[in-house]
Structures are given as structure tokens and as C-alpha cells.
Amino acid sequence: MSRIFEVTDKVRAHDPHADIDLINRAYVFAANAHANQKRSSGEPYLTHPLAVANILASLHLDDKSIVTGLLHDTVEDTAVTLKDIESRFGTEVANLVDGVTKIGQIRFTSSEHKQAENFRKMILATAKDLRVLLVKLADRLHNMRTLGFLPDHKRSYISQETMELYAPLAHRLGIHWLTQELEDLAFSHLEPEAYRDLSGKMADHIDSLNRTRERLEAIMQEAVNRQGCQAQVQGRMKHMYSLFQKMQRKHLDFDDIYDLVAFRIIVEDTPACYQTLGVIHSLYRPVPGRFKDYIALPKPNGYQSLHTSIIGPDNFRLEVQIRTEAMHRYAEDGVAAHWLYKNDDLDASDQRNFQWLKQLTELLRDSDQPIEFLENVRLDLFVKEVYVFSRDGDLFALPRGALPLDFAYAVHTDIGHHCTGVRINGQSADFQTRLRNGDQIEVLTNPEQTPGRQWLQHIRTPRARQAIRQWFRREERDASLRIGGEIVQEVFGRRKEPGKAVLAALQCADMDDLMVKLGRGEIPLERLLAEAKRSSPRRLNLQGTEQGLISAATCCLPLPGDAVLGHFEYGQGITVHHQECAAAAEEQAATWMSIDWKPEKGKLYGTSLEIKTKNRQGMLAAVSGAMAELGASIDDLRIHQLAGDMTTLVVLIEVRDRVHLAKLMRGLRKVDGVIKVSRNMQLRQHEGAAQRIKRRLSAMLNRKSTEQGEHSDKEKHDA
Ligand code: MN
């Protein structure tokens, strides 16, 4: 069992300025918090955080990391809150403890190998600070060392998680010994028989292997010394899991594995590495194609070394690694070694080819102080995704900044199309809510729901954008087809169709093509009539906006239900004018069609009214109040002062259809002071002033509800 003074001694040894008092206080605090708790082994719970702190001290981590190691289970497992920790140990420690707690809450739910990478990234994103991850790894290491006391199902779950998530993370951080120990421990629980078998064979061979190791160590050490190099030769056994993997991968038996023993030569500097390589190669024949120069070309996690295989005495093949002390320290402790081991050799290797940790080393290079470096290591910088769960616990990786609809479309296109809302972590949320790591999202759907144009504002992923655009294109095509079909039927009669000659002349592949192009207005009606030698159709039946293919003319703003005429605008479908519109009367030609225009459920249409009233206070309030009461919303309102005692109000309103408008007009005529209400069909004359007046309108309406509230009430009463 670890003791706190062992931990503090280790910390003091590598950092004389460390806050030992803080560590001691954290120890006492943890001891009190866990006072009555025991581990599955029966030991006092405190042994666990103490062991974790000890592991962290061995990694030469800073005092705050050690304190976090001591406190890491208090928030999760005791009555202690983050606030308690913040008030006693400061914000930095509280954030670190919070980070460790959050990683602990991630549940590894997938057995799919490819999902494991997403889980690993999610842990990185959640950890945010490199120290959080290192504390979590130390925590996991001690739990794995004491795993034997847990029931079977827990052991296999935790071992699986260790193998899939934590060992690979330790590997990425370049902490060699930790990767190996985690792998071997997980291996022993996941494949107990293979593990027993392999460790038995190792034991059988251990004596002869050790003799070989000692003999070769001596031979190589002497050869290197003779060249005048300061070098240290170490032989070591390969770790179990890497042997097991090699046997599996290459279908080998234990006896076929030649590199059970590997040698490592630690030298003074980089030139000595290559010099030593020459010495070894002149001593033993190298195996062709086995030399690797990881000094010139480091591994993605920053690892540097020279690797070679040689054919030793008795045709015994051996692997030899040659590296400097700094490279060795990095190979063993990975990034943890970076801020501890200041060495010229490391600085000289600035150009190393980091990939995954490229940004990390840049931060390192820019900082003189280890502590500053630690604070700058934001692990979420490496992760461009956000990781969220479906209701069933499936993990989804989305780009950062993704919104609920992106998630819905990631689950399935149809889930996206029919999405009516979402619940995030059990709370209903709107479409603008940014998704956060670990969110659990439930998508609510309704088959009646379909995408709206405004959805394009609430998505970030190309997948969702494409799906929504595709939906609109399909809808638009359906609408074009329907309108084009109507036109063809009106022009040719119910039983006939245009012949092949007409299709060819209009460059249409088939009837569908013709109908779509007619519906969109890509083929003007007059061209069809000319080719087919027909006269203009009488009447079309249309509904609503037909996916944007039908639009109301802005001069007269007709409503569904009005007597309307339509004509094609090239590529934009049909523009509908009121029959009494001046523009329609002027431009009317043979190709204008009369249209039976029906409203579409739930949609509103803009139109305009002219209201002549007596000029008196509170009139505006009375008129707008009456309109609101009748379910019309005002888009714009202009006031024209007339001579004498009269005022004309010109309003832009939204109503459901002609029937709704008629009801509204009747209601307005009953308002005291209103003299005349009529449709306004010459909007173009007023268009210039529209924007200016729109701005004034909202101010006016606001004043109405405060200053003139009394009048308004009274007049409403009168009406
Ligand atoms: Mn723990």
C-alpha cells in the first residue's frame, strides 16, 4: 500500500517548488470523504486514490494533477460537491476533478470496433485538459491491477473498455509501459486460458531466455564500449499481449517466435545512435528489410528510435532498439515526459513529424514553463467532432456546432423529414440548440410533418442540407408534373396527348419531361400552343403555392378564391393576378389562363386593403385591434392624411383566403369611425415607401398598447 509521504517525496524530488501542503490537505480531505468506504477487496477505499496519486507522481506530473488523483472519486462517490472542492482547492483543481468525473460517466456501449475510435475521441473531447486524461489513465491502471475482486460481468466489461479505449489512448500519448501493462491486465481477464497457456510457456523458457539475454548483453556492451561510446545495453522480455497478437496475426506457435527477447541500447546523443548501429551490424548480420529509422521519421505519436533485427549466435534472431536517453524517456512516458525532461536533444528535434500531436508539440515549443504548457493543452483541440447518443445508446459523431436536425438526419433521412422536435437529456429543446458531448437525443416525429424552407437555417451538416434540398426538389418536381399535366389536359382534351412530333419539337424526352417543363415554365405556354396548333386552355386547377411554382403578383396581391388570371414567367412557374388588376388588363394576351385557385391548409397569403376613416385619436388602435381579433396579421400600414377630417389607411395583411378576407372587411366596417373598406389593387404605386413605413409601424403599434390603451379599450367596447 502506498503512503502519502512516498508520494510527496517523489513530487519534491522532481519539482522542488511543488505545493506539498496542498497535496497533504487533499489527502486529509479524501481520507475524511471516503472514511467509511471499502473497496471490493475489503481494503479501505482511500488506498485507491492514494495509489492513483502515486502512479501520477511516478509520471512526474505537477502538484495539481496529484491533488486531482487524490480527490478524483470524491464527487462521484461521496457527499462532497464540486463547490466544496473549488472553495478548498481552487478552480483549476475543481475543473480537473470535474473532467475525470465526466469521463467516468461515459459508458462504452458498442462492441463494434469502428465505433471504438469515436469513443476514444469523445474521451479526448470530454477530458479537455491532458492532465484529466492522465489521471483517468492512472485511475484505470490501479482499477485493472485490482480487478480480480469484482464479479465476472464487471471484469469483462471493464477489461473490454480498457482494451478498446484506454490502452489505445495511452499508446497515442506514447506512454509505453502503461499501454503494455493495461493490455496485459485486460488480456488476462478477457482470454484467461490463452493467458495462462502463454505465461506457462514463458515460465518454462524463462531460464534459458535469461541466460541468452545476459550473454548477449555482455557481448554487445563490450563491443560498444570498445568504440568509446557511453552506452547502456538492456535486454527485456516482450510483453504478453504483443506476443499473443503476433501469434494470432501470423498463425505462429510459441516456439516459432524468435524475438521473445529484445535489446535496447541507450546512448548519449543522436550521432551516437547511428555509430552504435554500425557497431552492432558489424558484430551480427542484420536481417534484410528490418531496419527502421524512426529518428529521421518519428511515429505519429512522437516515438523516436532506430530499430534493427540481427541474426545472433545459434541463428537466434533478435530485435535491437537504439535511442538517446531523451528518446527513451519519451518512449516510456510519452507526452508526460515532455514537460519534465528538458534536453537539448529534444529541442534540436523540432522538425519531428508529429501528426496527431502536432499542435501539442507546437504549444510545447512556445512555452518555457511546464505549468503553462499544461494549462495550454486543450485536448478538445484535437477533436473536430461532437459525440452524442441516440435514445437507444448508439453513438453518433457529428461536426462541432451540429444542431438537432443534423442529428435527426444522421439517424435516418426519414427521421429528419418528419422531425417535429427533440428532447435532449430528457428536456425538450429547440432546433437552434447546439449539441454537446455526451448528449442523449430523442427525436420526435410525425408522418404529417415535412421539411420547411426555414429548416435550412437550422442545420450545419452537408448530409442534412442535401436531404432537405432533395426533398424540395422532389416536391417541386411533383408539383411541376401536376401543373404540367393540367395544362396538357386543358390544351389537348381529356383523351388526347401531344404526338411525338410535338415532343421532339419542344426537345422533350417524354410526356413527363414535357409536363415538368411546362409546370416550371421552362417551356412557355405559347410555344406549346404554336407547336400543337391549339388555342389557349380555359381553366387550370391549382392549390396554394404548389411548392413555390405559383406566386401572387405583387401589384394586386390576389388571394386563393379570387377570380384570377395566370401567366408563365420563364423558369419560375405561374404568376397569378387578380382579374381586375390593371396590369392584367393591359397585358392580357391569348396565353393568359383563368385559374381556379384553392387555398392550402395552414398557409397564409398577403393582400392589401384601403380603409377610409374619420381622422381622430385612437382610430388606428381600433382598426388594428379589430384586425387582430379577426385573425389577420398586419405586415405593413401606411397613413395618408386626406383633406378635411379624413384619413386613408393602406394596410398589408396576411389572411387564409378570400372568405377570411370578406369576414375581416365586414368586421372592419362595423368599427366606429370607419367609413369605407376596399381591396387595394394598385400596390405598385406605393411600393417605394413601403420599407420606411414598415419601420414606423412597429413603433406605432407599440405606442398604441401603452399610451392609448384606455381609448383602445373603450372604442373596442363601442364597436
Ligand atoms: Mn477511481
> Are 57 and 17 contacting, i.e. CB atoms less than 8 angstroms apart?
no
Spatial separation of the C-alpha atoms in residues 92 and 83, rounded to whole Å: 12
Catalytic residue numbers read 76-77
Q: Tell me if 452 sits within 8 A of 425, measured CB to CB.
A: no
CA–centroid distance, 122 to ligand 1, in Å, is 19
pLDDT band of residue 21 (cuts 50, 70, 90) is very high
Q: What is the DSSP letter of 656?
A: S
* Phi (first) and psi of residue 36, to 5 degrees: -100, 10
Phi-psi domain of 401 (left: phi exceeds 0; alpha: psi -120 through 50; beta: other): left
> How many whole angstroms from 105 Cα to the centroid of ligand 1?
12
Entry field: residues in the chain: 719
Answer yes or no: are the C-beta atoms of 611 and 668 closer than 8 Å: yes
Q: Are strands 593-598 and 539-543 parallel, antiparallel or unpaired?
A: parallel
How far, in Å, from the CA of 185 to the mean position of ligand 1?
17
Pick from 203, 282, 196: which is nearest to 244 by CA? 196
Q: Is 100 helix (H, G, I), strand (E, B) or coil?
A: helix
pLDDT grade, residue 335 (50/70/90)? low
pLDDT digits (tens, 9 = 90+) for 131-161: 888 899 999 999 999 998 899 989 999 999 9
Cα 255 to its chain centre, rounded Å, is: 49
Instruction: Tell me which residues have their CB within 5 A of the ion that is ligand 1.
Output: 73, 139
* pTM to 2 decimal places: 0.60
Give the confidence band of 373 by pLDDT, cuts at 50, 70, 90.
very low
d(CA 682, CA 699): 26
CA distance 431 to 476: 25
Q: What is the whole-number distance in angstroms between the Cα of residue 53 and the centre of ligand 1?
A: 11
HSE-CB at 392 with a 13 A cutoff on CA atoms is 3
pLDDT of 538 higher than 50: yes
DSSP state of 537: P
Please tell me the distance between residue 141's alpha carbon and the centre of ligand 1 in angstroms.
Answer: 10
Residues 719, 717: Cα–Cα separation, whole Å: 5
Averaged over 588-593, what is the pLDDT?
66
Over residues 74-87, mean pLDDT? 93
Residue 403 or 645, more confident: 403
pLDDT tens digits, one per residue of 541-573 = 887 777 777 888 888 888 888 888 887 777 667
Most confident of 12-16, 80-84, 118-122, 620-624: 80-84
Centroid of ligand 1 to alpha carbon of 190 (angstroms): 21
Mean pLDDT of all residues belonging to the chain: 81
What distances in angstroms separate CA 53 from CA 127, 414, 686, one per listed residue?
18, 51, 78
> How far apart are alpha carbons 400 and 632 in whole angstroms?
41
User: Are the CB atoms for 431 and 456 separated by under 8 Å?
Assistant: no
Q: How far is the CA of 338 from the centre of ligand 1 (A)?
A: 25
Average pLDDT over every residue of 290-305: 82
CB 595 within 8 A of CB 546: no
Taking a C-beta distance cutoff of 8 angstroms, is the pair 571, 700 a contact?
no
Cell of 571: 423558369
Q: Which residue has the higher pLDDT, 496 or 411?
A: 411
Backbone φ and ψ of 553, nearest 5°: -65, 140
* Distance from Cα 669 to the centre of ligand 1, integer Å: 77
Could you give the CA distance from residue 56 to residue 73 in angstroms, rounded to a whole number? Answer: 15
- For residues 40 and 143, the answer to whether their CB atoms sit within 8 Å is no
